[in-house]
Copies of this chain bind each other. A is one copy, B any other.
Amino acid sequence: MKLQVSRRQRATPYTPRVEALGVSGFSVVNHTILPKGFGRPVAEDYWHLKSHVQLWDVGCQRQVELHGPDAERLVQLMTPRDLRRAQAGQCLYAPIIDDEAGMLNDPIILKLADDRFWLSISDSDLLLWAKGLALGMGLEVDVDEPDVWPLAVQGPSSDDLVARVFGEQVRDIRFFRFERCQFEGHPLVVARSGFSRQGGFEIYVDDFTLGADVWDALWQAGEDLELAAGCPNLIERIEGGLLSYGNEMTRQNNPFECGLAKYCQLDSGLDSIGMKALTAIAKRGHAREIRGLIFDGDSCPACQQPWSLTIEERQVGYVTSAIWSPRFEKNVALAMLERGFWQAGTAVDVACGDGSLRAGIVTDLPMEDG
């Protein structure tokens, strides 16, 4: 399907670069375009990502900045994850839920200072939620979208590449920590994080006009590292169990269903939004939970709407994302399984989008090596 682009689907500082490199398609995330491929098969991008290093335009990962005396209070209200021991320089993956414990977003929270946070969001206008709460509760906090355009470097050679541009000290940045590193006199937030399991960094370029220079510097430094332009890889993220808001979860799902129980501190005494609902759900047991799935047959189509999973014609769940895996030489998927059917090894029938019924096996996440 062709995407019609207007101002409403915002370009990023990197858009001219990815266009020059032959980007073959886009998705729209947070009203911003996200490259989805560069004309190579997804499987080729997958092996490249696992072997070398890629540069990803993830400018669509917009930041919601909370700044002011009540910033800490607001961010803690927004998540059941206990942030009280979080330190400046830390990245924290966190479910954001409403009063019924429905998932609204699953950002990475960057604690910049005690009174300043960035929420690096998935695809929903979390700014409106934060600002609505702040205004409704009379909190003293500014909620805004800063001029920040993340650029991801992912893959095993990421350290080598990023060290060449930002200095050797990036090698010492721990997982889910960030440091401010100089680029031509600008201190940029460089975090060891990213939407793959292959290691790497996200660089929070905090000036649109600087973006192309950062891209170019990395691009030029990567010539001998087989650096390629890339994007989040569906095969790799499914095998790695990385969830996508809007695909694997919606407001109809609670964090337990999404496998995020470890980010819900029910006994913390916190009065975060949705905590009561979460506690009630924990007491009665949640009804479904996300798992991996490996299934037979040739390369499956894209999963545009949930595919039913059945056992002897009884529905026991549904697939949310699926693709052919060259590593398993089978199709891999993320799926929401009803209680009693989410144990690894459970055999299910997959109502694949092409009309076929295929044999599948539930797996844990991330998927084990095949």
Contact = CB atoms under 8 A, between A and B. Distances in A.
Nearest to A248: B7
A305 interface: yes
A321 interface: yes
B3 A2 contact: yes
Contacts of A123: 8, 31
Interface string A302-314: 1111100000000
A137 to B, nearest CB: 4
B133 A7 contact: no
Interface string A116-146: 0000000111101111111111000000000
A303 B7 contact: yes
B1 A26 contact: yes
A181 interface: no
A25 B3 contact: yes
A76 interface: no
A302 to B, nearest CB: 6
A166 to B, nearest CB: 29
B99 A135 contact: yes
Contacts of A9: 27-28, 304
Interface in A250-291: 273
Contacts of A11: 304-305
Given A1-B33, A5-B304, A128-B132, 9 more contacts: A1-B26, A3-B27, A4-B27, A31-B123, A124-B125, A132-B136, A133-B133, A133-B136, A134-B136
16 contacts: A2-B2, A2-B26, A3-B27, A3-B28, A6-B27, A6-B244, A7-B303, A7-B304, A8-B247, A125-B128, A125-B129, A126-B128, A128-B129, A129-B131, A130-B132, A132-B133
